[in-house]
């Protein structure tokens, strides 16, 4: 753990192991923090807050720029840890470290644009001034699927805004979190500004975040279930909340779209991180006229994806994070098959070439998926592409919006009017139009409905950590 500027063990002395999902190998032991450690970290963050908040934005920005430089210098080293601990192919891990570092530099710049404003009054003897000030101590809970960038996506705007922070990373990826905090240590951030509490059991730390009045904001990325629990729990103290939760992204191939181009896009985005992404397409709507060409292109691409440990340079599909994740994916596939889905490729756990020691699932395409199947409603978080054929006259917006999630969505069309109609009508926080990567540190990321509250990245991202204060001056 990293508390008040020092790496340390947990107060109980307990540790837990971090394992490679590709082969079960023990990668390292880390401190297992609990209630006392969370309190110590909040003490440190609380003590550091006043001074950090009173630095100029230029001073705060310098620390973030330094952290950015150091993270890029250590890109390969961090990517290697990530590839081993989380499983994604090394190249994807390199991209994630870059994406993670992007937040540090982007918010280093944005800190300088925390502008207030003056508002004209109807009284000649009155002036209004609006200020933005840091909320205070932040409690952050991060997931394992993007174990580096989901930390910087929270820490960078919080620090830029003048907040201090305690991060509790996912229990599957504590070594990635440590690697990020080694960068913060090297960047010489003042003691207590950033703190890390690793924990085998997240609940006691989560409870401290919810119950300690000094924590004024909770920011969370993870499942909708835990997000709802945190939203309920923070109600009694009305803490500010940012939640980035699950998704069930529709991927719509319109009748005018090029099915080969769309299949190429889908093959790239669906199997990224083995489908373990909240913006991964989960319902692929293809017009009946394009079904054949689309599926041919898709299956030819998907059958070439080589599964293996992320650290092997030729691996395109890494393992799933654990046995439970693999079981969930397999159950959804079995349920779909029982209810009439057709397996185009995949549909099984990979056990050959020594992969039986890891959690590998074959990249899978299911055709003839229907709304009664679990996969049509529940997030999969695995390498499975469920295809649904639609006909002329079907209401695409109604079908795509028929979910309690609202994070990402994708549309392929060459028709500008149709693109605009779908862009405006899709009830999702992110819409990719002929674009499979609608994300950037500079762009607001987040979901509607049960996919979350608030946005990360962009100017919206920094305002999640700021209070608005109005001054009325009678003169």
**Of 85, 244, 379, 456, which residue is the catalytic one?**
244
244 classed as catalytic = yes
**Of 163, 254, 278, 450, which residue is the catalytic one?**
278
State in angstroms the smallest separation of the CB of 368 from ligand ADP: 29
Select 277 or 344, whichever has its Cβ closest to ligand ADP: 277
Rounded to whole angstroms, the Cα distance separating 474 from 128 reads 9
Tell which residue, 470, 474, 377, has the closest CA to residue 132.
Answer: 470
Kindly list the residues in this chain that would bind ligand ADP in the complex (CB under 6 A): 141-143, 169-171, 202-203, 206, 222-223, 226, 229
Select 321 or 458, whichever has its Cβ closest to ligand ADP: 321
State in angstroms the smallest separation of the CB of 446 from ligand ADP: 16
Select 171 or 467, whichever has its Cβ closest to ligand ADP: 171
State in angstroms the smallest separation of the CB of 424 from ligand ADP: 31
State in angstroms the smallest separation of the CB of 234 from ligand ADP: 11
Rounded to whole angstroms, the Cα distance separating 250 from 431 reads 10
What is the Cα 214 distance to its own chain's centre? 26
Classify residue 189 by its DSSP letter.
P
Asked whether 192 and 216 are in contact (CB, 8 A), the reply is: no
Rounded to whole angstroms, the Cα distance separating 171 from 214 reads 24
State in angstroms the smallest separation of the CB of 435 from ligand ADP: 25
Instruction: Give the start-end residues of each E strand in 144-224.
Output: 164-168, 194-196, 215-221
Radius of gyration of the chain (CA): 23
Classify residue 112 by its DSSP letter.
G
Rounded to whole angstroms, the Cα distance separating 252 from 132 reads 40
Pairing type for strands 364-367 and 384-390 reads parallel
CB atoms within 10 A of CB 29: 13
Select 170 or 284, whichever has its Cβ closest to ligand ADP: 170
Select 173 or 389, whichever has its Cβ closest to ligand ADP: 173
Rounded to whole angstroms, the Cα distance separating 237 from 233 reads 8
Tell which residue, 116, 144, 110, has the closest CA to residue 458.
Answer: 110
Rounded to whole angstroms, the Cα distance separating 59 from 195 reads 19
Select 72 or 229, whichever has its Cβ closest to ligand ADP: 229
State in angstroms the smallest separation of the CB of 148 from ligand ADP: 14
CB atoms within 10 A of CB 363: 27
Catalytic residue set: 244, 278
């Amino acid at each position: 753990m990293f508390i008040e500027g020092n790496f340390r063990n947990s107060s109980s002395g307990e540790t837990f192991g971090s394992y490679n999902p590709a082969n079960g190998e023990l990668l390292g032991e880390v401190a297992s923090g609990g209630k006392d450690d969370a309190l110590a970290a909040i003490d440190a963050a609380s003590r550091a807050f006043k001074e950090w908040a009173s630095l100029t934005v230029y001073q705060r920005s310098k620390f973030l720029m330094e952290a950015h430089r150091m993270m890029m210098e250590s890109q390969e080293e961090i990517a290697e840890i990530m590839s081993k601990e989380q499983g994604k192919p090394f190249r994807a891990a390199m991209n994630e470290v870059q994406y993670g570092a992007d937040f540090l530099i982007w918010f280093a710049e944005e800190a300088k644009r925390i502008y207030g404003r003056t508002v004209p009054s109807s009284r000649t003897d009155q002036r209004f001034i609006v200020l933005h000030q840091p909320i205070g101590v932040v409690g952050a809970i991060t997931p394992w699927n993007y174990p580096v960038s989901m930390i910087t996506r929270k820490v960078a705007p919080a620090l830029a805004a003048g907040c201090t922070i305690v991060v509790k990373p996912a229990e599957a990826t504590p070594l990635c979190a440590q690697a990020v905090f080694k960068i913060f240590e090297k960047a010489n951030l003042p003691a207590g500004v950033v703190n890390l509490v690793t924990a085998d059991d997240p609940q006691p730390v989560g409870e401290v975040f919810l119950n300690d009045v000094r924590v004024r904001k909770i920011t969370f990325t993870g499942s909708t279930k835990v997000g709802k629990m945190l939203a309920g729990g923070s109600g009694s103290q009305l803490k500010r909340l940012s939640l980035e939760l699950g998704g069930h992204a529709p991927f719509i191939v319109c009748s005018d779209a090029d099915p080969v181009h769309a299949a190429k896009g889908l093959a790239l985005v669906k199997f990224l991180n083995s489908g373990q992404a909240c913006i991964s397409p989960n319902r692929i709507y293809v017009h009946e006229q394009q079904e054949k060409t689309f599926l041919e292109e898709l299956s030819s691409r998907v059958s070439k994806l080589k599964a293996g440990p992320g650290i092997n340079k030729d691996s395109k599909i890494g393992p799933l994070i654990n046995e439970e994740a693999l079981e969930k994916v397999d159950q959804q596939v079995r349920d779909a098959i029982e209810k009439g889905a057709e397996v185009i490729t995949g549909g099984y756990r990979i056990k050959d070439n020594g992969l039986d020691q890891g959690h590998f699932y074959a990249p899978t395409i299911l055709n003839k998926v229907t709304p009664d199947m679990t996969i049509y409603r529940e997030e999969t978080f695995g390498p499975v592409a469920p295809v649904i054929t639609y006909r002329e006259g079907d209401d695409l917006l109604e079908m795509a919006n028929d979910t309690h999630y609202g994070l990402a969505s994708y549309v392929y069309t060459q028709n500008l009017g149709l693109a605009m109609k779908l862009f405006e009508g899709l009830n999702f926080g992110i819409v990719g139009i002929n674009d499979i990567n609608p994300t950037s540190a500079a762009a607001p990321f987040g979901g509607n409905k049960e996919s979350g509250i608030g946005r990360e990245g962009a100017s919206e991202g920094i305002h999640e950590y700021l209070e608005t204060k109005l001054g009325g001056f009678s003169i």
